[in-house]
Amino acid sequence: MTDQGYGGRAGGHGGAPQPNPYAQGGGPYGQGAPNPYGQGGGPYAQGAPNPYGQSDPYAQGAPNPYGQPYQAPAPYQAPASYPANPYAQPLPPQPVPSQPAPVAQPVPAYQPAPAPQRPAPGGAGGPLGGRPGPAPRRNPVAVLLQFTLQWIYAPLWIAALVALFALLLWSGSSGPSGPSSDAWLKVNRTFIPPRRLKAELTGRPEDWERYVTPIVERRIRDAERRHAFGDGAVEEDFSRVMHVKLALRLYRGLGAAGVVRIAERYGWQGGASDEGRVRLRRVFPAPAPVAAPGPLDPPAAPGTPWGPQPSRPALLLPFILVLQIAYVPLCGVFSLLLFWGRHAQPDYWDRWGARWAVGPRAFWAELTGSSAAWERHIRRILKPGRGAPAKKADEPGVPSPVVRAVVPARTRVNLATYRGAGAQEVLRIAAEQGWVLDPAYTPEPEACVRLYKPHRAA
């Protein structure tokens, strides 16, 4: 068996090396074999003719027909400046303002920020528009205790006051000096009415409003009635301002804003209020002018409002002069205890005295009925310098003398002064001193004559 694998034949291990068919000249393109492309070894061999000719576009060194060789861009050059404007005028030199040297500011010392404070319910900008709000509710046990004991100490307190006044009246002594305040005379300040007991115990605003509404309405009606009788503070335009005050005990659970809201239903407004009371105010315009006789007009007939009034009987006048020393103080004490010293008419006692009393200086004029005696009595009352003094500039609500250059002077002459002469006689004598009928009041010649005279303040 012939060994064909290893060394037995050509190509095996140990056999003679076989010639490379692709060696030089071997194979179909080897040496000695005919080359179908010629000696050059192909159509593109060295020396073979180029089918595209010698101008081969890709030949080495031939020019590129598709562009120029790459060149780097030239550096940027700024354009030349524009030529000078032949019509331009040279600008004048502008002055340069001098700058002040900076001043060194002192460094402020460190101050800690204030602690935030909770605004009060009635403070400025608060929900109540700057008015005190409801006060703290009282202890219900203390309220019930006070309501129970007041029925015992209130009658004893009143009895003690009556005894004190009687002692001072009959002894003629001024008595022991008491406190400057008159709170010890007013028992009602410590008295809780049954209508207020529910509001004090519950503390609800609606209960307080039901209690205080009738009080506000009653006091407003009383103030308007007093205005009709000539009460009120006179302003520069002859209007009059009326005021009403309510203590804190009357509206504790409602607040000042609630009281003002109730007063606005009746045309009133809120005034300056504090923590202890609320103030209400209303401005009444000047009354319409009323026809009145002038000082130089013919005298009014007796019995007419501006004429002489009938005098009391001459035989009755001495008894009135003697007895009035006793019954006038008794009537005053009785009125103080019954009406607490207040009446709807601010001039109640003047009107009462004109009917039931007689002045010692007017006694002779009324007894004789002489016109000369009445004239002397009127001139004695209207002496120079009479009138309301000007308010000081430092009083609240009064402007300085620079702003208020003219301060009016006002006075009042009661019926007891001119009964037998007539109100027109008062106008005639007062005109000699510059007095005129006061335009801020409606004339009431059957009760009094109000006079007005402007004068300059010092």
Q: What is the mean pLDDT of residues 209-226?
A: 94
Please report the pLDDT score of residue 273 as a whole number: 74
153 versus 268: the higher-pLDDT residue is: 268
Q: Do residues 144 and 194 make contact, with C-beta atoms less than 8 angstroms apart?
A: no
Report for 5-19, 116-130, 427-441: range of highest mean pLDDT: 427-441
Query: Residue 355: which pLDDT band, with cuts at 50, 70 and 90?
Result: confident
- Let me know: does 454 contact 327? Beta carbons within 8 Å: no
By the 10 Å C-beta count (0-12 exposed, 13-18 middle, 19+ buried), 295 is classed as: middle
Cβ neighbors of 371 (< 8 A, separation 6 or more) are 420, 421
* Greatest Cα pair distance in the chain: 200
Is the pLDDT score of 132 beyond 60? yes
- Do residues 232 and 222 make contact, with C-beta atoms less than 8 angstroms apart? no
Read off φ and ψ for residue 278, nearest 5 degrees: -120, 140
Specify the DSSP class assigned to residue 387: S
| Phi, psi for residue 188 in degrees, rounded to 5 | -65, -20
Specify whether the CB–CB gap between 320 and 312 falls below 8 A.
yes
User: Cα separation of 191 and 150, whole Å?
Assistant: 6
Question: 192-206, 326-340, 365-379 — which is least confidently predicted?
Answer: 326-340
Q: Give per-residue pLDDT as tens, 93-112.
A: 666 566 565 555 554 554 54
How many angstroms separate the CA atoms of 336 and 186, rounded?
A: 11
Between 337 and 331, residue with greater pLDDT: 331
| Long-range pairs of 356-364 with CB within 8 A, sequence gap ≥ 24 | 356/320, 356/324, 356/328, 357/320, 357/324, 357/328, 357/416, 358/312, 358/317, 358/320, 358/321, 358/324, 358/416, 359/416, 359/417, 360/321, 362/416, 362/417, 362/419, 363/317, 363/321
Q: Which residue ranges make up each domain of the chain?
A: 140-169+185-284, 317-456
Q: Are 381 and 416 in contact (CB under 8 A)?
A: no
In this prediction, residues 270-294 reach a mean pLDDT of: 88
The rounded radius of gyration (Å) of the Cα atoms in the chain is 60
Q: Is the pLDDT of residue 244 over 70?
A: yes
Q: Which pLDDT does position 119 carry in this prediction?
A: 41
User: What are the CA-CA distances from residue 440 to residues 67, 307, 436 (Å)?
Assistant: 116, 22, 11
Cα–Cα distance between 222 and 211 in angstroms, integer? Answer: 18
Average pLDDT, stretch 76-96? 58
How does residue 205 score in pLDDT terms, banded at 50, 70 and 90? very high
Whole-number average pLDDT of the chain: 75
pLDDT in tens, 48-75: 555 555 555 554 555 555 555 556 666 6
The span from the CA of 199 to the CA of 193, in Å, is 11
pTM, two decimals, is 0.60
Q: What is the predicted pLDDT for the residue at 334?
A: 76
Integer angstrom CA distances of residue 373 from 94, 316, 361, 417: 97, 19, 10, 11
pLDDT at 337: 66
CA 53 to chain centre: 112
Say what the pLDDT of residue 351 is.
Answer: 87
SS3 96: coil
For 150-200, write each residue's pLDDT tens digit: 999 888 988 888 888 778 777 765 555 555 556 667 777 888 999 999 999
pLDDT band at 115 (very low <50, low <70, confident <90, very high): very low
Answer whether residue 7 shows pLDDT above 50.
no
